[in-house]
């Protein structure tokens, strides 16, 4: 049982290191190099004015008028949502992200690294 657990841990580590190496070769900062702190909840008027104050990466829920986050995992709800890397669900009037694994719902939806970068109403990439 111990050796099965050890083998599984080694396999997960190898996959994570491979993903970091691939992002590094593409000229992007892998998650292991991102030094910004994470928060589970962010409520903004305009980023960085909100709770918590300042620029934070979010793993959870962000609600606001204008949301800007570099790295996001979860649900983002606002009038204007912008991110660099997004994993989850965006709901807003304008949603813009560079790289996404999830769904956008709004009037203007842009995923820059997608084959079709703009779609109204709904846009997705997995």
| pLDDT by 10s per residue, the chain, length 126 | 555 544 444 443 444 444 444 554 555 555 544 556 888 999 988 888 888 888 888 899 999 999 998 999 999 999 999 999 999 999 999 999 999 999 999 999 999 999 889 999 999 998
Least Cα distance to 89 among 98, 101, 71, 79 occurs for 101
CB atoms within 10 A of CB 55: 13
């Amino acid at each position: 049982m111990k050796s099965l657990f050890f083998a599984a841990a080694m396999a997960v580590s190898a996959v994570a290191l491979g993903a970091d190496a691939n992002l590094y070769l593409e000229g992007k900062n892998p998650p292991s190099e991102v030094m910004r702190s994470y928060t589970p909840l962010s409520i903004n008027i305009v980023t960085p004015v909100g709770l918590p104050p300042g620029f934070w990466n979010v793993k959870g829920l962000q609600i606001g008028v204008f949301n800007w986050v570099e790295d996001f995992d979860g649900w983002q709800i606002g009038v204007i949502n912008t991110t660099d890397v997004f994993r989850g669900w965006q709901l807003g009037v304008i949603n813009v992200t560079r790289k996404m694994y999830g769904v956008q719902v709004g009037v203007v939806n842009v995923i820059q690294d997608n084959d079709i970068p703009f779609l109204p109403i709904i846009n997705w990439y997995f």
